[in-house]
Amino acid sequence: MSLFENAKKQFYKSLKYLNFSEDSKKILSQPKEILEVSIPVRMDDGSLEVFTGYRVHYNNILGPTKGGIRYHPDVTLDEVKSLAFWMTFKCAIAGLPFGGGKGGIIVDPKKLSKKELERLSRGFIQSIYDFIGPDIDVPAPDVYTNEMIMGWMADEYSKIARKLTPEVITGKPVSLGGSLGRDDATARGAYYVIKEHVKKLKLNEKDLKVAIQGFGNAGFYIAKLLNDDGFQIVALSDSKGGIYTKNGKLDPESIMKVKEQKGKMEGVYCKGTVCDMIEHEKITNEELLELDVDILIPSAIENQITKKNADKIKAKIVLEIANGPTTPEADEILNKKNITVIPDILANSGGVTVSYFEWVQNKAGYYWTREEVSEKLKPIMVKGYNDMMEAAENNKIDLRTAAYVVGSRRIIEAIEAKGTTAYFREQSK
């Protein structure tokens, strides 16, 4: 079954706990619009390559669509549709005035020079110019895209529009209108959520062992934030593999420092310029998922916890920072094992929330401090968590279904405010 069909299963499950018209289900079962483009790029050696790109508007009933652009050799339309679907509900749960969108280009960015990457990025905006806009669709960074790429894209859009339009793209460099606090927004949002959950369960943070799969931007920042609060970070991994310490805990900042210098992860603790090796063992990403820890944080890519390994998961809490890391079949297994899954559509919504802040600041021409951004993010994440927990407790359902109940309700109310089949049949009598 496709990733998109799997994603819709979660939405359909939530409908059992809502009053809705068939109109709403039909509208939310398919993307509103899909654009596929070919992007010709002149390479440094003079040859021409043509890359395929996608942009999907899933639903815009709550506002302009919002979602990242990823560069990856395995990008597919099915994946982009799924990500746009998740963004629709993520924005609704957070109470943002956005719908869901997503984009991607089939490319291995590591094989391109910086000049080729810039030509590709600007070429993509030239191809989708009429499909995006500050009040239509607002892209952002995603896998293998960054603030520099967003800066190129915003600049290209402004050139075509012949006016400065920073609010068309979020995740830009601060010097080009980006928001302070965007760098750690996804992790900080997840941090606020897990802190609320730990408080609700009355657990001692310093007793909790944490394993994090994915040591990129979000993985690093969530590790740092939790480590600073006393959580025991015992395992970390990136695409090449991971490290695990049975005794003591890992220091994320020291490990990132060495990773940037040597290109690989090592269990170290650095004080000043001196780094001492600490006792650790090498593990695979698969082994990390199965460690006996209190909190497991998938922060890499989708479909990491499946029916093949779900029964081996020992963590008591799974905090999803990656998009779609757990399949529906795995969800069922984890639920039976009483493992709490805090779903991606809430847990990683800090990123899109601070993107919303950036859009607002660009439109207003008034910019906030990092502290103000964090202060505004926390109540949104806490409210999303409390709304989800209330739906879970009232309906006696798992947290993923509860999150979809919250998001679905808000979207369905907006759809049905325009009228339903029953309303128009009644009017025609």
> CA torsion, points 272, 275, 276, 281, in degrees to nearest 10?
140
* Cα separation values, 320 from 31, 338, 344, Å: 24, 16, 5
- Give dist(CA 326, CA 403) in Å, integer: 15
- Give dist(CA 217, CA 220) in Å, integer: 5
- Give dist(CA 264, CA 1) in Å, integer: 35
DSSP 179: P
- Give dist(CA 102, CA 79) in Å, integer: 9
89 in Cβ contact with 408 (< 8 Å): yes
* Contact residues for 280 (Cβ-Cβ < 8 A; gap 6+): 243, 244, 245, 250, 266, 267
Q: Which of 102, 172, 224, 316 is catalytic?
A: 102
- Give dist(CA 145, CA 109) in Å, integer: 9
DSSP H or E run through 67: strand 65-72
DSSP H or E run through 319: strand 317-319
Indicate the SS3 state at residue 48: strand
38 in Cβ contact with 108 (< 8 Å): no
Beta bridge mates, 51: 39
Is residue 337 annotated as a catalytic residue, yes or no?
no
Helix, strand, coil content of the chain in percent (nearest 5):
50, 20, 30
The stretches of 348-369 forming alpha helices (DSSP H) are 350-364
Output the six-digit token pair for 160: 């075509």
The DSSP bridge pattern shows strands 48-59 and 99-106 to be: antiparallel
Output the six-digit token pair for 356: 């919303």
State phi, psi for 369 to the nearest 5 degrees.
-80, 165
* Cα separation values, 258 from 186, 229, 266, 275, 277, Å: 23, 22, 7, 9, 11
Longest dimension (CA), the chain: 82
Residues belonging to the active site: 102
